[in-house]
Structure 1
Amino acid sequence: MKIAIVRQRYNPFGGAERFVERALGALAGDGAEVTLITRSWDGAPREGFRQITCDPAYSRLLGGRAARDRSFAAAAQAEMTQGGFDITQSHERIAGCMIFRAGDGVHAAWLDHRARILGPLQRATQRWSPYHRYVLGAEKAMFAHPALRAVICNSQMVADEVARYYGVAHDKLQVIYNGVDTEVFHPGLAAEFRKSLRAANGIPDEAPLLLFVGSGFERKGVPQLLRAAARMQRTDARIVIVGADRKLKAMRKLSELLGLSRRVLFTGPLKDVRPWYGAADGFVLPTLYDPCPNAALEALACGLPVVTSTTCGAQEWVRSGDNGWVVDAVDIDGLAQRLDDLAGLAGNAEARTAARAVAEPLTLPAMADRLLTLYRALGR
């Protein structure tokens, strides 16, 4: 079977890229001939697949991001057409692919959710943005294209949005959750890292520690998290924010203005977050929009109860009061209350067991098996 997977560029901290790397390994191990069509990729495994680099010129001045994405889409379409592939799977919004993996969710839905925190002028700017208009057009064309036979959705939330916004038939929507390595991410990390990492960062062992992991602070809800933290009753709780963002300095400043300097720690981006999963008592991700964050799944695998939002695909794994809570991302008072509740679960063995139980069936082999089943069905 000849399979082409399309992803424009590699981000070492991106969940979609990790999914591609895992999928490539599973496919190559099954004997498939896998081709990665990309503009820039340095992180995928080199054995068992070949790479086609499509990096056509585009005008940064005249078109910016829209011109970049349009030029790559045209080049990728040509490669998909000429390559003689049995299956073409795109992680970008490119019309003509057989499978689209909606790892970034539905752009139209994201814009609607983001508009909730924007002022009138910002909403107008978003509505008429050339980039957003291009993406919406590409998204619509892709979902309407007759070549599209399946959409891989990494949560039920995304599947529902694809059907609601674009009318895609339900029999085309395949919910395949992201996989997690349950041997790498596990509750035993607490015994390995909790005491030493807390001591190194001046965090008392008895203090409830709530962990945030994510890049793209606006979308992931860091401003709301900080404002909610300032309204918590549990002033002994600490919050650690792990992630890369161009607004990192601004968020640190906001933390200072809210009087949170002693309670909130920004680590910046980390390649290995496992020590912080081990040191934490709970995980929080009040995201404005997140189809299915790997970080939430990793946290659950480590036995951390979770507070997340109604616009996060991970919500379907959360059982209120059992292994966490779900709250509206822009409800600051409601989020503050749930942060207090999450801090109250520190040391709760039943909550940690319930969190781990969610992740145990969502393994990498389980994800790979579902992918291979889909590919075989479509490749007949």
Structure 2
Amino acid sequence: MTRLAIVRQKYNPAGGAERFVSRALSALSQDGALEVSLIARKWEKVAGIHALTVDPFYLGNVWRDWGFARAARRAWLREGYDLVQSHERIPGCSIYRAGDGVHAAWLEHRRRALSGFKRLSLAINPYHRYVCRAERAMFVDAALKLVICNAHLVKREIQRHFGLPDEKFAVVYNGVDTDAFHPRLKIEHRAAMRRQWKIPEAAPTLLYVGSGFERKGVERALRAIAPLAGVHLVVVGRDKHAVRYQRLAEALGVASRVRFAGAQNEVKPFYGMADAFVLPTLYDPFPNVCVEALASGLPLFTSDSCGASELVRPGENGWVVDALDVEDLTAAIQVWLARESQWPALAEAARATAEPLTLSAMARQLTELYRRFL
């Protein structure tokens, strides 16, 4: 039996990174091929997985990440695990799951959206400098055998920055529950949700879901719909600066067409009320919300710096624009509006795109990868 350790500072079974591997690990554990342990600072109980708490004292985010990395590596060396899969940037792991993308690439995208002074502040920020050093040390470490990416975008970025060969990569898209996220959500929820949120039944409605409004493009979505009379936008998610975006909607004259719904425990009814999904994110390796939207039959408006753009066939199941090009996003939405008679076909194409990306298919792919090392 192979002993595998999974490393994650804060392990939440409902989190995107954790859901990504849970099914494969469960299958391998059940057939006796794998004994799974968890190394984490904080964790929620996971059936069948032994947890090892590593929680060194820290002050500040640099010390936090450095201290955890140092303590986690000591723990896995002491325990003598056969394989170590890290979700954190820690040199010496066997497998790295690059769910957060490449920090060096994120900084490149971030600089595009900043003024000169803020660019300088970004460059000298000690946390970013630490993460970039840790990232490079991990990718060039001889112990690293496999990098699991959730998009080809991430693979290309790692190769561009660190030069790893193709054989060290596997690309596995995030899976989605295609039964829970389904076009029938429109039948179940559209009328009631539109009454609840006071959106006319026939009004073209875009949905945004996510936290981190600045990075994920809420401002750009607001500006994009401003010249499009009658288009509504529903924003689902929490952000500490939400009031700033509400004021922007008022300044743009679109407040009557925008609903800020805040964080929601159940998002499926919102997919059911919408006609399309918008996420003009500055950088996102592969957001789960995009495949949830496609599975729900919503065409997708996103950016070319989003891994989910790899699923988009422009004009068939969505549109892809530059993250900072608001005019291009407006133009894409205008094209969609002009093709209202074809919306059922767009919805069918969106659903068909997501149908192969089931959770069981993702688990099978991961299981095959793990068996290579068992």
Q: What TM-score bracket applies, with the shorter chain setting the length?
A: over 0.9
Q: Which residue of 2 aligns with 1:311?
A: 305
**In structure 2, what is the Cα distance between the partners aligned to 1:377 and 1:131?**
35
**In structure 1, what is the Cα distance between the partners aligned to 2:51 and 2:266?**
27
| Change in CA separation of 1:110 and 1:248 when aligned onto 2, cut-off 3 Å | same
Name which of structure 1's ranges 142-151 and 12-21 shifts more when overlaid on structure 2: 12-21
| Change in CA separation of 1:12 and 1:367 when aligned onto 2, cut-off 3 Å | closer
Name which of structure 1's ranges 357-366 and 135-144 shifts more when overlaid on structure 2: 357-366
User: May I ask how many residue pairs the two structures share in their alignment?
Assistant: 371
Q: Which residue of 2 aligns with 1:351?
A: 346
**In structure 1, what is the Cα distance between the partners aligned to 2:22 and 2:252?**
40
| Change in CA separation of 1:158 and 1:185 when aligned onto 2, cut-off 3 Å | same
1:210-289 residue pairs with structure 2 within 5 A?
A: 210-231=206-227, 233=228, 235-289=229-283
Q: 2:193 aligns with which of 184, 197, 215?
A: 197
Q: Which residue of 1 aligns with 2:182?
A: 186
Q: 1:333 aligns with which of 317, 320, 327?
A: 327
| Change in CA separation of 1:346 and 1:83 when aligned onto 2, cut-off 3 Å | farther
For residue 318 of structure 1, what is the amino acid of its counterpart? V
Q: Is 1:53–2:53 an aligned residue pair?
A: yes
**In structure 2, what is the Cα distance between the partners aligned to 1:230 and 1:10?**
40
**In structure 1, what is the Cα distance between the partners aligned to 2:289 and 2:107?**
22
For residue 58 of structure 2, what is the amino acid of its counterpart? Y
Q: Which residue of 2 aligns with 1:377?
A: 372
1:88-127 residue pairs with structure 2 within 5 A?
A: 88-127=84-123
**In structure 2, what is the Cα distance between the partners aligned to 1:184 and 1:273?**
11
1:15-164 residue pairs with structure 2 within 5 A?
A: 15-31=16-32, 32-42=34-44, 46-59=46-59, 64-164=60-160
Quote how far apart the aligned CAs of 1:12 are.
Answer: 8.1
Gaps of 5+ in 2: none
| Change in CA separation of 1:29 and 1:272 when aligned onto 2, cut-off 3 Å | farther
| Change in CA separation of 1:225 and 1:12 when aligned onto 2, cut-off 3 Å | farther
Give the match's secondary structure for 1:262: helix
Quote how far apart the aligned CAs of 1:20 are.
Answer: 4.5
Residue by residue over 1:176-234, the C-alpha shift from the partner in whole angstroms, topping out at 9 and shown as x without a partner, is 11111111111111111111111111011101111011111111111211122213x3x
Quote how far apart the aligned CAs of 1:369 are.
Answer: 0.9
Pairwise CA RMSD: 1.6
**In structure 2, what is the Cα distance between the partners aligned to 1:364 and 1:39?**
27
Conserved? CA contact 2:40–2:53, under 8 Å:
yes
**In structure 2, what is the Cα distance between the partners aligned to 1:239 and 1:25?**
39
Quote how far apart the aligned CAs of 1:133 are.
Answer: 0.2
Residue by residue over 1:217-267, the C-alpha shift from the partner in whole angstroms, topping out at 9 and shown as x without a partner, is 111111211122213x3x111101111222212212222221121111111
Q: TM-score, normalised by structure 2?
A: 0.95
Conserved? CA contact 1:13–1:271, under 8 Å:
no
**In structure 1, what is the Cα distance between the partners aligned to 2:334 and 2:346?**
15
Quote how far apart the aligned CAs of 1:273 are.
Answer: 0.7
Structure 1's consecutive aligned runs of 4 or more residues displaced over 6 angstroms after TM superposition are none
Quote how far apart the aligned CAs of 1:27 are.
Answer: 4.0
Quote how far apart the aligned CAs of 1:21 are.
Answer: 4.2
Give the match's secondary structure for 1:378: coil
Residue by residue over 1:46-74, the C-alpha shift from the partner in whole angstroms, topping out at 9 and shown as x without a partner, is 31111112111012xxxx11111111111
Gaps of 5+ in 1: none
**In structure 2, what is the Cα distance between the partners aligned to 1:329 and 1:90?**
30
